Structure 1
Amino acid sequence: MADAYLNQHHVRQMLAAKGVPPTEERVWESCDKEVDNVLGHDVMKSVKSLVIDLLSYKPVLLYQGQWDAECGVGSNDAWIGALQWSGHGGFTAAPRRSG
């Protein structure tokens, strides 16, 4: 459904890079076959330890859209809440808000 929307001529015109007009040959693909062949094996590997390392070095913003079909809010909340890092207590005690 996203592919059909993003491939509409007027949408492609709005999203075109400056100076690069959209053409019929250039279409939106949710997942390019070549990219999938190269990176597909890496999809379900955890990067939890890398996030912990990043958190000890710099503040991190983890953004997720509420309608993300690949990684749901509940599952992301679970793994983020289980991270063991120095700021864990403050993070879990912080107020939550939406919008």
Structure 2
Amino acid sequence: MSGIHINDKKVTWEECSSSVHNTFKAYNSKPSITLLPDLLQQIPIILYSGQYDLICNHWATEAMIDGMTWNNGTGFDFGNGTSSPKHLWIVDGESAGLIQSA
């Protein structure tokens, strides 16, 4: 806790704290999938999901994108029977995962 400057005598660390989750959950907040299509028409956005993240995993992110209509298409489908390919993401000469863009 000292590495992030938190007094561990006042704060007990929890892996999945409901108080943190509830603080981020605004009363009238909209799901991001309803906001992303309009944002994507104006600015590029990176959606990142870690391969080993159990809470926000890449399967959920891929499913959300696959079902989202944006920039006159759905998901990564180009509309002509093809879709955006996945490419290796290389960092310092080593594979760091896959990337896909449209």
TM-score in same-fold range (> 0.5): yes
More strand by share: 2
Runs of 4+ in 1 over 4 A off after TM superposition: 40-43
Distance 1:64 1:22, change over 3 A: same
Instruction: Determine the structure 2 residue equivalent to 1:13.
Output: 2
Superposed, 1:32-43 pairs within 5 Å as: 32-33=18-19, 36=22, 39=25
Instruction: Determine the structure 2 residue equivalent to 1:61.
Output: 46
Which consecutive unaligned segments of at least 5 residues does structure 1 have? 1-11
What's the TM-score, normalizing by structure 2?
0.56
More helix by share: 1
Say which SS state the counterpart of residue 97 (structure 1) adopts: strand
Instruction: Determine the structure 2 residue equivalent to 1:6.
Output: none
What's the TM-score, normalizing by structure 1?
0.57
Q: What's the % identity of the aligned pairs?
A: 22
Instruction: Determine the structure 2 residue equivalent to 1:96.
Output: 87
Q: Please report the RMSD computed on the Cα atoms of aligned residues, expressed in angstroms.
A: 3.3
Instruction: Determine the structure 1 residue equivalent to 2:67.
Output: 82
- Between 1 and 2, higher relative CO (CA 8 Å, sep ≥ 6) is seen in 1
Instruction: Determine the structure 1 residue equivalent to 2:99.
Output: none
Question: How many residues matched?
Answer: 81
